[in-house]
Chains A and B, each alone.
Chain A
Amino acid sequence: MGEVKVIGASLSSFCCRIEWALKLKGVEYEYIKEDLRNKSPILLQYNPVHKKIPVLVHNGKPVAESLVILEYIDETWQENPLLPKDPLEKSTARFWARFVDEKCIVSAWDACRAEEHEKERAVESAQESLGMIDKLIEGKKFFGGETIGFLDLVVGSLPNWLKFLEELGGIKLVDAEKFPSFHEWSKKFVEIPIIKEKIPMPDDLINYFTTSGLAKTIRGSALANNK
């Protein structure tokens, strides 16, 4: 149903959401790898406002912003629906997707980068957000129910990114005891073949950050100090 391209970067948690969604729906696409340190003219043309990945290009028309792209994919290719049909359930999924992006990811980064005297409070704040996600998945197999859905793809690589941020920042954010339901979900999620095929791994993230020199920008980083 038309030509589909994904402009992305393999370590981006936002990009893998898009690839997973397309694979779940059996949509063939061409993957265009973007070097974020040297942005291509294609990216600047297709996302002039933010100049960021991921960008989905369908029949030459670009769509940007991962959550917007997920909804576009769901409306365009209707097999294996990602979002619930019911308006209230859909609103709830959207609410938690925003929460993951605006609270969980941000607070985890803040905890990683916090100065020594602020670290404890920042970690507590991140754990408070993660605790809500843990509660949300309690008693359920996946966020989408029996099979994965929109929210599973959004939460997606969060466990791996948290492991990476823990190592980068010398902090502890999650463990099986503190967030048992989240831990169980993440074990099941990464075993799904299309997820396993392409998910940012903590070691790759650490490698990228240390070799690119970005780790030095993280204050108090155990990794930066070891360089």
Chain B
Amino acid sequence: MAEVKLHGRWSSPYVYRVIWALKLKGIPYEYIEEDLFNKGPLLLQYNPVHKKVPVLVHGGKPICESMIIVEYIEQTWPQNPLLPNNPYERAMARFWVKFADDNTDKDSPFWLLFRSSGEKQEKAIKESLEILKVVEEHGLGEKKFFGGDKIGIVDIAFVEFAYWLGFIEEIVGVKLLDAHAFPRLHAWQKNLKEVPVIKENLPDHGEMLVYFKWRREMLMASQ
């Protein structure tokens, strides 16, 4: 089997999407930590357009964009499938993958509220809650995981809600994914973190707290 390498950053949720996909399918890989303030020449060569992580390199060929990488992994290593077989259900899954990409990225209300204060933050909180409502009602519904009984590609796509959102909440001091307001999504978050592959593959809690605290201080100081 050709060599698999993953260029990433320890705190990036997008990198973890790829790690989870690789681990769920039992694919061995070499991990290369990238310093985003001092990007390595290989990263710039493999992702000249965006210069970002994650980049998966398989047999020397790079693939970029986390969910595109996950789809590549799914097609290349079909064991423990992350997508349903049926084209309609695959389309439903891909719809929610896109939703996750569009609504939890760095320009999303969740990160905006982390980067702001006052009125701007209030607005971002309101918009974040609306997104959570849509995801719980239309995306998750009555299912245990977005993938049904087992985790699938959509669970991986909502990586931010699984773990990173908790740090935003703790550092900013606001509870968004509340058990009363969003019982099903809250249960999903808990169930997901109990899946062994997920539980064993999360960035260190203590280090994340330090990192998030530092970032928030930097952002507030520059305002």
Contacts and interface: CB of A to CB of B under 8 A. Distances in A.
Nearest to A77: B87
Contacts of B31: none
A91 interface: yes
A25 interface: no
Interface string B70-96: 011001100000000001101110110
Contacts of B68: 91, 94-95, 98
Interface string A47-87: 01100000000100101110111011001100000000001
A108 B210 CA distance: 40
Interface residues of B, number: 23
B49 interface: yes
A81 to B, nearest CB: 14
Q: Main SS of the interface on chain A?
A: helix
B72 to A, nearest CB: 5
Q: Main SS of the interface on chain B?
A: helix
Nearest to A47: B95
Nearest to B58: A88
A55 B96 CA distance: 15
A40 to B, nearest CB: 19
Interface residues of A, number: 23
Contacts of A88: 58, 61, 63, 72
B220 interface: no
A201 B113 CA distance: 41
A88 B58 CA distance: 9
B65 A98 contact: yes
A87 B76 contact: yes
Contacts of A68: 91, 94-95, 98
Contacts of A76: 87
A88 B46 CA distance: 14
Contact of B91 (A71, A94, A95): A71
Contacts of A91: 63, 68-69, 71-72
B134 interface: yes
Q: Considering the complex of A and B, which 9 residue pairs feature the smallest CB-CB distances, nearest first?
A: A72-B91, A75-B87, A87-B75, A68-B94, A63-B91, A91-B72, A91-B63, A76-B87, A94-B68
Interface of B: 49, 58, 61, 63-65, 68-69, 71-72, 75-76, 87-88, 90-92, 94-95, 98-99, 134, 138
Interface of A: 48-49, 58, 61, 63-65, 67-69, 71-72, 75-76, 87-88, 90-91, 94-95, 98-99, 132
19 contacts: A65-B95, A68-B91, A68-B95, A68-B98, A69-B91, A71-B94, A72-B87, A72-B88, A72-B90, A87-B72, A87-B76, A88-B61, A90-B75, A91-B63, A91-B68, A91-B69, A94-B68, A95-B63, A132-B49
